[in-house]
Amino acid sequence: MSSAQVSPSVAGSESVTRILDEAVELINAHGLAGFSMRALAKALGQQPGALYWHIRDKQTLLAAVAQRLLASIPHDPEESLLDVVTAFRVQLRELTDGAEIVLSSIAMGFNLDQLHARFVAAAERDGRELNEARTLATTLVHHCLGHVMHEQQCAQTRRLGLHQGAGDSASVAITADDETFQQSVRLICGT
Amino acid sequence: MSSAQVSPSVAGSESVTRILDEAVELINAHGLAGFSMRALAKALGQQPGALYWHIRDKQTLLAAVAQRLLASIPHDPEESLLDVVTAFRVQLRELTDGAEIVLSSIAMGFNLDQLHARFVAAAERDGRELNEARTLATTLVHHCLGHVMHEQQCAQTRRLGLHQGAGDSASVAITADDETFQQSVRLICGT
DNA sequence: ACCTGAACACCGTTCAAGT
DNA sequence: ACCTGAACACCGTTCAAGT
């Protein structure tokens, strides 16, 4: 049995850990667009091909990064719905292009069920009925992903320089900042 | 003045139109991941370099595709908030990976202000106060993008074959389908 | 078990030179 | 004005061969 997989549960083969650590560092430094397998190999002092003994491919690597991101959301057994959605957003923002990485990992079979379950549990603790809790959970997850994705893409726009909009760029009607996020969450949760 | 730009307003140089048409066709056929400048050139019967006389680069091309997508949301002056969010989702789904293309175009300076304004206007017609209308608009845009992105990534997972989840794949707790979407919209709008 | 070296089949983009 | 041909500097991935 070759270990050429980043298996969801047993990903701790310690060479894989080193690879993931370095991948996170590079993504944080140069963004997802500036991240390549070849650059990762170079940073690890190896040949590009060497990576493929440890991991299946780039997409699987990114799915593992996404998984690690979600797994490190702090877990409070008494957390409210507001707590968990806030923690989710915080964690997405810890990693450059975190929302894009999580979303695109879905195409790798990565799913958000665990996260969804945490939202549902928190909603039920807040006194919601099960069906309502489920809708609430799904809505908040989708909203948070859309919001942070927007925010992070705007950040990249700024990093690359010019906005191609009109000269005075003060006219941005739709924004994705802290205050907007909180207003949306209050709206969804019904104050 | 070289025309090497897909300028937002005057993009109608008819060669550019042909390029965009073909790009949309290829994206619909093979997804964003399977779309390349070289494949686009081949489909047009040209050399890859020829494209760069008409358009600045790939990202600008995709931003133009996103713009065309948003511009072709049917416009009803009496539309309700529900109408506009539904039309937005329909249009995102017209194009394979449409949500991803729109979201990533934001990094090119592409912004969603026009769309946001339509949401706000519809909300006001529905009797909302301005601040409420703004929050509602932002929330719905972010939610819809997150939702459709999730949905389209899942579709790609299915196209590529296996889910790497457990054997029986019936256990998907979080989904992005029509019914879920409508429930979320009702929740956000307050029934 | 783990890595190198070298290759394969691609990319996006530029730019002289042609017409 | 518009396109070709050819190059540049990259990609992800595979795989024999080494240790």
Q: What is the pLDDT of residues B55-91, one digit of tens each?
A: 999 999 999 999 999 999 999 999 999 999 999 999 9
pLDDT-derived band at B114, boundaries 50, 70, 90 = very high
Which residues, numbered 89 to 108 in chain B, qualify as contacts with chain A under a Cβ-Cβ cut-off of 8 Å? Answer: 100, 103-104, 106-108
| Predicted pLDDT of residue B105 | 96
- Domains of chain B are 14-57 (1.10.10.60), 72-189 (1.10.357)
The gap between A49 CA and C8 C1' (Å) is 13
Which residues, numbered 134 to 163 in chain A, qualify as contacts with chain B under a Cβ-Cβ cut-off of 8 Å? Answer: 134-139, 141-147, 149-150, 153-154, 156-157, 160, 162-163
CB contact under 8 A, A157 and B187: no
Q: Tell me the pLDDT of chain B averaged across its residues.
A: 91
Give the type of residue at A86.
T
| Predicted pLDDT of residue B170 | 57
Mean pLDDT of A83-107: 97
What whole-number distance in Å separates Cα of residue B74 and Cα of residue B181? 20
| Predicted pLDDT of residue A5 | 52
Q: Which helix (H) or strand (E) holds B182?
A: helix B178-189
Note the pLDDT tens digit of each residue in A36-63.
Answer: 999 999 999 999 999 999 999 999 999 9
In chain A, the percentage of residues whose pLDDT exceeds 70 is 88
| Predicted pLDDT of residue A158 | 85
* DSSP per position, B119-177: HHHHHHHTT--HHHHHHHHHHHHHHHHHHHHHHHHHHHHHHH----S-SSTT---S--S
Bigger pLDDT: A159 vs B136: B136
Q: Using a cut of 0.95, tell me whether the model's pTM lies above it.
A: no
The gap between B97 CA and C3 C1' (Å) is 38
pLDDT-derived band at B191, boundaries 50, 70, 90 = confident
Contact between B119 and B140 (Cβ < 8 Å): yes
| Predicted pLDDT of residue A66 | 98
